[in-house]
Structure 1
């Protein structure tokens, strides 16, 4: 363990067996000067072998991954394993408790704080622990997400482009094994850029697969099933569950979303009336929706158009919008030859 991290745990990652406890995030408040917040953690280990780190609850209002990892933690036994699995179903626990994207402790968005700081805010301390303690151990990291309150996603999985052709092909293989209908490449230009967990993992070389499984702060049953079965397939793929029976993945459509012009934003405040559906193929210039002014109801609504052609991977969930809110995210197909870096 890194000496600089301020988070500690009774769990020993080198001990065989199944350990169920927590990470202890130090917090000092008016009513608890030397207190800590418990971040639930499960570690299963059986001898030598690969290490998989499974994460959900980076954002507290995304639920498919949280429940999928709870199910997996209850289901697996050390005898099933060859190696080690570390499961964190609610990594940003304060946000999970509050059902919010960001932490109520410091308003921190965990997936915008990597690589974190040992002596930073609560959210920065969590990011630092993942970066300095968990990532160096990992042969695979799975980070399960959804659209939260503001977005709805078609179930999909994503990777960042690999640094070498060999590394990139290994990541593309993870997309195919996980088995989401859509697997896409992104450099994070439309979101967290270099402040996300996958960006931090590039320093250690740990392969990271991220999944988007639904949205609207609701539970998508198909996203939940994909999360559970996809993670089990990945664990078998890397050799942690060598004898475990898993379902076969379906076909994966390889796409990309690495430029900001594939995102559609609100140019004004108002009530958004979408004129395209999640999963729909749209053309450049097509009318995407209307924004109706609530303080100037007699004015014609503002038209919003798609700047590029593509498939709608996510759309805004709430109707009330402000200027700068993301309304749609598009993806475009890539040739198989382009997936090799």
Structure 2
């Protein structure tokens, strides 16, 4: 294990509730010996599993930041069996700025794992998460959304299992989170994963983990926030980490495999004609791309190369060539 330059104000081995910061060293003109403050809460009591919950890996994704912060406020050591580690703004510079990537080094944290202990601040955070934090964990939940550019319904993401034990753990998390949709990957994962995401980092460490896409458009959706908070409580209960928890009735989840994305090939103004969760046929019209700068020009028609269901849709009207407009999924086999 490489030695991280990040210093934690929280002792992850001590019982009780602790709140403080990870100090990510950052020497700049205005602060020669300064550090970036990444907020962290650790609650530990009795014997039980260790669960890590993160949000703010992308800074323009908000439901997770609120839900994780709420847990940090509401739970105390006497409520917990095991160890709960909460990081509501893991990529703090991005979250503080409300941007997908860090404004100080342009790092997209969810494309930087396993990181580097001597790299940029974003690379140091990726390394600390993968090499210092995750070896402590049994389970991990990473909360995302579509950010500023996309909208998702409340959707859990999970990988394929590579053992009966992993399948059992993933099923516990999936059933407990109980989101309307589950995006199940058909390949990858496992300890040999090369993915540069937080899920890849967890897989390499043998940590049972899921991710979630929770809304988007750089806004907070009350219904999705409520589902997120409910799901996290249900996960804690399912893992036996909170006392006397009685779950409410499960609502069920539609399990999907993603078929692919639909991209823009002409810059212009995006007019969707289909809604999220709407079923579509191959060749069916999804959107028009308008060109108001060219009087009389006919809009371009965007058609679906897949049959299935719209899982995600672009939130922004202004588009450039290469922008993702839709993500299409179908029911898992």
Secondary structure of 2:7's match?
A: coil
Following the alignment from structure 1 to structure 2, what is the Cα–Cα distance between the partners of residues 236 and 139? 15
Matching of residue 313 in structure 1 with residue 311 in structure 2: yes
Write out per-residue CA displacement over residues 79-118 of structure 1, whole angstroms, 9 at most, x where no aligned residue: 1111100000111110111010000010111111111111
Once the two structures are TM-superposed, the CA of residue 186 in structure 1 deviates from its matched residue by 2.6
2:254 alignment partner in structure 1:
253
Secondary structure of 1:194's match?
A: coil
Following the alignment from structure 1 to structure 2, what is the Cα–Cα distance between the partners of residues 161 and 294? 46
Once the two structures are TM-superposed, the CA of residue 13 in structure 1 deviates from its matched residue by 0.5
2:34 alignment partner in structure 1:
35
The answer on whether the counterparts of 2:172 and 2:238 sit within 8 Å (CA) in structure 1 is: no
The answer on whether the counterparts of 1:53 and 1:141 sit within 8 Å (CA) in structure 2 is: yes
Following the alignment from structure 2 to structure 1, what is the Cα–Cα distance between the partners of residues 230 and 6? 31
The answer on whether the counterparts of 1:6 and 1:25 sit within 8 Å (CA) in structure 2 is: yes
Write out per-residue CA displacement over residues 128-152 of structure 1, whole angstroms, 9 at most, x where no aligned residue: 1110111111111011111111001
Matching of residue 134 in structure 1 with residue 129 in structure 2: no
Matching of residue 7 in structure 1 with residue 13 in structure 2: no
Structure 1's unaligned 5+ residue stretches are 336-341
Secondary structure of 1:69's match?
A: helix
RMSD (Å) for aligned C-alpha atoms: 1.7
2:215 alignment partner in structure 1:
214
Structure 2's unaligned 5+ residue stretches are 189-193
2:200 alignment partner in structure 1:
199
Secondary structure of 1:328's match?
A: strand
Once the two structures are TM-superposed, the CA of residue 3 in structure 1 deviates from its matched residue by 5.5
1:233-272 aligned at under 5 Å gives the runs: 233-257=234-258, 259=259, 262-272=260-270
Secondary structure of 1:87's match?
A: strand
2:284 alignment partner in structure 1:
286
Following the alignment from structure 1 to structure 2, what is the Cα–Cα distance between the partners of residues 111 and 162? 22
Query: For residues 220 and 31 of structure 1, do their structure 2 counterparts lie closer, same or farther at Cα, with a shift above 3 Å needed?
Result: same
Matching of residue 80 in structure 1 with residue 79 in structure 2: yes
The answer on whether the counterparts of 2:160 and 2:187 sit within 8 Å (CA) in structure 1 is: no
1:49 alignment partner in structure 2:
48
Write out per-residue CA displacement over residues 143-190 of structure 1, whole angstroms, 9 at most, x where no aligned residue: 11111110011111111222234423431332121000101113699x
Secondary structure of 1:214's match?
A: strand
Once the two structures are TM-superposed, the CA of residue 311 in structure 1 deviates from its matched residue by 1.2
Following the alignment from structure 1 to structure 2, what is the Cα–Cα distance between the partners of residues 248 and 89? 27
The answer on whether the counterparts of 1:80 and 1:243 sit within 8 Å (CA) in structure 2 is: no
2:19 alignment partner in structure 1:
20
The answer on whether the counterparts of 2:2 and 2:131 sit within 8 Å (CA) in structure 1 is: no
Write out per-residue CA displacement over residues 267-315 of structure 1, whole angstroms, 9 at most, x where no aligned residue: 1100011110111111111001111124323221111111111111110
Following the alignment from structure 2 to structure 1, what is the Cα–Cα distance between the partners of residues 77 and 164? 35
1:57-206 aligned at under 5 Å gives the runs: 57-186=56-185, 194-206=195-207
The answer on whether the counterparts of 1:188 and 1:194 sit within 8 Å (CA) in structure 2 is: no
Write out per-residue CA displacement over residues 41-99 of structure 1, whole angstroms, 9 at most, x where no aligned residue: 00000022100001011111111111111111111111111110000011111011101
Q: Which moved more, 1:163-172 or 1:294-303?
A: 163-172
Following the alignment from structure 1 to structure 2, what is the Cα–Cα distance between the partners of residues 74 and 31? 32
Secondary structure of 2:195's match?
A: helix
Following the alignment from structure 1 to structure 2, what is the Cα–Cα distance between the partners of residues 254 and 301? 35
